[in-house]
Structure 1
Amino acid sequence: MDVSPAPRETGPAPAAARPRTLVETARLHAERQPDTPAVLCEGRTLTYAGLHRESNRIAHALTAAGLRPGDRIAYLGKESEHYYEVLFGCAKTGTVLVPVNWRLTAPEAGHILQDSATRLLFVEEEFRHIVDAMPTEPPETVVALGTDDGFPAWKAAHGDHDAAVVEPTPDTPIAQLYTSGTTGLPKGVVLAHRSFFAIATAMAEARVDWIDWRPGDKALIGIPGFHVGGLWWATQNFNAGTTVVALRTFAARQAVDLIRDLGITTACVVPAMLRMMLAEPGVTAEDFRSLRKTVYGGSPISEALLTESLAVLDCAFAQIYGLTETGNTAICLPPAAHAPGTLLMQAAGRPYPGVRVKVIDDNGRELPPGAVGEVCLATPARMVEYWGLPDKTAETLVDGWIHTGDAGYVDPDGYLFIRDRIKDAILVAGENVYPAEIENALEHHPGIAEAVIVGAPDPRWGEYVHAFVVPAEGDRPSPRDLHTFLVARLAAFKLPARYEFIDRVPRNPSGKILRRELRDRFWGDAERKVN
């Protein structure tokens, strides 16, 4: 069934003038509210006038360095005001920002820089060792962030400029975010400016306030900016002219303190972050008194955690569901649907205005309400392409529909329920992990003949990585040996939490691994095989 939304909540009328690109966003708010804080980070304040000025400097510095529209600019560092200055600097030059996950190992980060053909890299000193250890050559230009004679001098050398170098259109690419894949190598998802405007614009035009941004809001970003959720949430607040409170990295105690002490009004988090904040000693509902809305997503949430969060945070909750390929959120469980004890507490939500959802069978035929199949989404925020992978793009983006790889159904009222994964992704605290990448790494160990990776339920992180390994003949490495072997090859969140030695890998008559058979040992008869 192809479902479009029936809005049930109304908000303020659409504004007379709305920015359509990040260049327009920077210019608009620098003119209208130059002294309003755009970013608060570790006691530092960057106003909208400052964001406009510093991103102009970066734009002209990039141009002076020979960068041209379409060139890739990478950023390896944690969240700070500098990250957003670089983002808007890229927007003003038509270059494309490639945020690199700072948790990655040197080979993993090196692959992203090489695959994206990055020409200039901004890197924090804390992560310079990753660049130095890369097996591939670094980009031709590397700019150090956070140093007295590095980044500030690099910007200042080009003076103050009032104008952007280029004026992008909504279809101009602005970001390239890397997601893991079933082949083991991450793919670069190219997103245009429209990916960061389409949903909010559609809600405003339909007068739907499932997620809204109000004057004076202070928005906490718990999700890192190398994830589409973190980048999307930041840009929504910049577009609305509110204040972003940036965490260098998520720490539950710090997040609670910032919410209380700064009077934060909105937050975007993954379920594991909610759990960690609620588990902090001494935390009470009083700590969250200023919150009016919490947006959460990135991984499924248990009904128990959601119920507890509703009670303690005592504010409106909105769940978002989508992929990097959909430009982040395409489905929303609005605040009014958050009623403890009801079936809707297990739903992903319903499509925003302008977004459609359908469920198909193995032959591509649409299924009726209640039938489980692959979830497909049509959204104006969808990706442009997988960078350099036209065949993979064609597999995922078909006639305007993103094939999600998630299994679910739509109920008669248009609510989407996710029940399983068609693809083999494992979600560890909101991080996508694909088995193939870990299996490939494990099978390079001389003591391993074969490995199969599955996700198993974990009460804190949602899921954990479980490794089934067949030892090589005459050898049996210990879990400690395998852990040590993988540490240099994989980011920490991808490392197996448990190893289980088996004599053989189960296969069907054609030789295909029966991964589902191994995975189902942990999930049993659970109706929803995602945690």
Structure 2
Amino acid sequence: METSTAPQHQGGKLHHPELSTLVQTARFHAGRQPAATAVICEDRTLTYADLHRNSNRLAHALKAAGLAEGDRVAYLGRESEHYYEILFACAKTATVLVPVNWRLTAPEVSHILQDSGTRLLFLEEEFAPIVEGMPTEPPGTVVHLSAIETWSAEQPDRETEFDANPDTPLAQLYTSGTTGLPKGVVLAHRSFFAIRDGLASERLDWIDWRTGDIALIGIPGFHVGGLWWATQNFNAGTTVVAMRAFAAGQAVDLIRDLGITTACVVPAMLRMMLIEPGVSAKDFTTLRKTVYGGSPISEALLEESLAVLDCEFAQIYGLTETGNTAVCLPPAAHVPGGPLMQSAGHPYPGVRAKVIDDQGRELPPGAVGEVCLHTPARMVEYWGLPDRTAETLVDGWIHTGDAGYLDEDGYVFIRDRIKDAILVAGENVYPAEIENVLEHHPGVGEAVVVGIPDERWGEKVHAFVVPAAGDRPSPRDLHTFLVGRLAAFKLPASYEFTDHIPRNPSGKVLRRELRDRFWSDSARKVN
């Protein structure tokens, strides 16, 4: 029986249902559209035929270096076409890619390489001093990216004999490590296909890929969002534009000059693009969809983004442990002032959500507890940490550590990280709620709320405020603005004005860094 390889257009989406591993993705598009552009990075362009051939050579080079199935291969470098060639080479050899955050210190990088048992490291020369400064020895084989083509040049460009299945481990990404040592989250091929297939099964265009799409990747590849977005576009056969590192001015230029049609960013990146000097709606005329996530977004920023970018917006929510997105707020729900604008979204087809109390009992709609997600894209495990895996992955459910609730229609509302909840006189206060209201004040550019010790109430609310350009409200102004908008026990007891909010490379606020100095003299970090 003859099988058609024609793409399926479902609700505007480009979907190849026969693909379930990246090995198949590389082979399929190299055969179907060899001359089509797969990757653009700076002034370099890689076709799908190039991507397939180059990753084949790298795969054979990995095998010649003695790597076997399950061995870890690390990448320490900025975004580049080589990153994706290495990703596909790992897929074709059943080795596991370990992308390393290049902003980390030598001891932090050392932990990742040691914890993962990395046998081979691809290293960009810029970051050689980090490896040289590690307290441990580097892996047995280090390949500099400047020499990668020479290293693999003598290898054949034919495919390897290995053919992955959806459960074959593909990547091991390390959590941000804002508390304790980072954990290695192992993701299989299925993590990068399951959501796509769920959307296609119900013909939903919440997130879609179309012929001719050119996709900007603003999120780094060592973050699950960046890796997921790249693989979705490769699976669809569209073009990926990789930024070496995000810079707002460059991102705006790329969108305008290359005719970018889709982008995946975190809210902080949206804010930076909007305040870029000289930026206007004309810079974004080719954008048809912006996918955002990774941290909460204020309604004020979202409404400004909708007005200036003038395209469809889709919010995604998930964790590295869920294989990136598990919940989506679709474009149709992005109505300024609408009832769902504070929601993280609705689970995709095939994904379930529930909220539980501290005894593990499922809570009814409206009740705040821990959000749990059941998704076919979920992680395999935390590498080498069976006890921690068992705590987070329970009967197929990922326990997110996020506090939130479901409404009657199954939409997920996130109130904060459970560990960041503030207990004021026995009442739980969730920072995101206060931040969202504060950022509607015209004098507030950004706000972050933490809990600090209070002898009378146990804890009280302290707000860090970045003033809007050309304005600086007084604490009294902000208090007056919040009265009537928030319950009295949620109002900040104190304010601190600053020009900088610390964030990790994925755009998440380092709330613990802001909070710690208030608790340094306390035996416990909560009251």
1:376-405, CA deviations, whole angstroms, 9 ceiling, x for partnerless residues?
Answer: 000000000000000000000000000000
Question: AA paired with 1:131?
Answer: V
Residue 416 of structure 1 is matched in structure 2 by: 412
* Corresponding residue for residue 254 of structure 1: 250
Query: Aligned equivalents of 1:408 and 1:493: distance in 2?
Result: 18
State the distance in 2 between where 1:329 and 1:413 align: 19
Aligned to 2:304: 308
* Whole-Å separation in 2 of the counterparts to 1:455 and 1:380: 39
Q: State the shift of 1:43 in Å.
A: 1.3
- Structure 1 residues 460 and 116: alpha-carbon distance in aligned structure 2, compared to 1, 3 A threshold: farther
Match of 1:115 in 2: 115
1:445-478: CA deviation from partner (whole Å, max 9, x where unpaired): xxxxxxxxx99655599xxxxxxxxxxxxxxxxx
* Aligned equivalent of 2:207, options 211, 218, 242: 211
Structure 2 vs 1, CA of residues 312 and 360 (structure 1 numbering), >3 Å: closer, same or farther? same
- Which residue in the other structure is 2:41 paired with? 41
2:486 corresponding residue in structure 1: none
Contact 1:60 1:165 in 2 (8 A): no
1:321-377 CA-to-partner distances (Å, cap 9, x unmatched) read 000000000000000000001221110000000000000011111111101000000
Deviation at 1:182, TM superposition (A): 7.1
Q: What residue number does 2:266 align with?
A: 270
In structure 1, how many angstroms separate the alpha carbons of the residues matched to 2:400 and 2:169?
22
CA distance in 1, matches of 2:467, 2:329: 22
Matched, 1:377 2:389: no
Alpha-carbon distance in structure 2 between the residues aligned to 1:502 and 1:400: 36
Return closer, same or farther for 1:180/1:455 CA change in 2, 3 Å cut-off.
farther
Give 1:498-517 correspondences, 5 Å limit: 500=517, 504-505=521-522, 512-514=524-526
Q: Deviations over 1:52-87 (max 9, x none)?
A: 000000000000000001000000001010000000
SS in 2 for 1:97: strand
Is the CA contact (8 Å cut-off) linking 1:14 and 1:207 kept in structure 2?
Answer: no
1:12–1:204 CA contact under 8 A, matched in 2: no
Per the TM alignment, residue 202 of structure 1 is displaced from its structure 2 partner at its CA by: 1.1
Aligned-residue offset at 1:226:
0.1
**For 1:498 and 1:342, how far apart are their aligned partners in 2?**
33
Residue in 1 that maps onto 2:132: 132
* Structure 1, gaps ≥5 residues long: 1-9, 428-434, 436-453, 462-490, 518-531
Cα separation, partners in 2 of 1:501 and 1:30, compared to 1, 3 Å? closer
C-alpha offsets along residues 188-222 of structure 1, whole Å, 9 cap, x if unaligned? 00000000000001111211110000011000000
Q: CA deviation at 1:157?
A: 2.0
For 1:17 and 1:499, the matched residues in 2 are separated by 49
Is residue 201 of structure 1 aligned with residue 218 of structure 2?
no
Q: Are residues 313 and 124 of structure 1, via their aligned partners in 2, closer, same or farther at CA, if it must alter by over 3 Å?
A: same
Q: Pick one of 125, 144, 149 that aligns with 1:152.
A: 149
Q: How many equivalent residue pairs?
A: 444
Contact 1:272 1:460 in 2 (8 A): no
User: Higher relative contact order at CA 8 Å, sep ≥6: structure 1 or structure 2?
Assistant: 1
Give yes or no for contact 2:281–2:310 (8 Å, CA) kept in 1.
yes
Q: Are the aligned partners of 1:174 and 1:191 in contact in 2 as well (CA < 8 Å)?
A: yes
How far did 1:283 drift?
0.5
- Aligned-partner residue type, residue 318 of structure 2: G
Q: Residue 340 of structure 2 aligns to a residue in which SS? A: helix
**Partners of 2:405 and 2:420 in 1: how far apart?**
19
Q: Give the conservation status (yes or no) of the 8 Å contact 2:287–2:309.
A: yes
Identity %: 74
Q: Conserved in 2, the CA contact under 8 Å of 1:320 and 1:348?
A: yes
Greater shift in the superposed pair: 197-206 or 304-313: 197-206
Cα deviation digits, residues 119-140 of structure 1 (max 9, x gap): 0000000001111100011000
TM-score by length of 1: 0.80
Encode CA deviations 1:25-48: one digit per residue, 9 max, x unaligned: 000000000011100010110000
Distance 2:397 2:191 in 1: 15
| Matched AA of 1:260 | R
Counting only pairs closer than 5 Å after superposition, residues 300-379 of structure 1 correspond to structure 2 as 300-379=296-375
CA distance, structure 2, for counterparts of residue 317 and residue 129 of structure 1:
40
The match for 1:484 is: none
Local SS of the residue matching 1:27: helix
Query: How large is the Cα RMSD of the aligned pairs?
Result: 2.5
Quick check: 1:357–1:375 contact (8 Å CA) kept in 2?
yes
TM-score by length of 2: 0.80
Residues 296-319 of structure 1, C-alpha deviations (whole Å, 9 max, x = no match)? 000000000000000000000000
What secondary structure does 1:375 align onto? strand
**Equivalent position of 2:64 in the other structure:** 64
CA distance in 1 between counterparts of 2:462 and 2:100 reads 24
Q: Helix, strand or coil: the match of 2:53?
A: helix
User: 1:499 Cα shift?
Assistant: 7.7
Change (3 A) 1:226 1:457: farther
Question: Please, which runs of 5 or more residues in structure 2 have no aligned partner?
Answer: 1-9, 422-430, 433-449, 451-460, 469-506
CA–CA distance in structure 2, aligned partners of residues 391 and 182 of structure 1: 20
Kept in 1: contact 2:183–2:382 (CA 8 A)? yes
Distance 1:498 1:377, change over 3 A: closer
Counterpart amino acid of residue 513 in structure 1? K
The aligned residue for residue 93 of structure 1 is: 93
Contact 1:59 1:165 survives alignment (8 Å)? no
Name the residue aligned to 1:177.
Answer: 173
Amino acid at match of 1:253: G
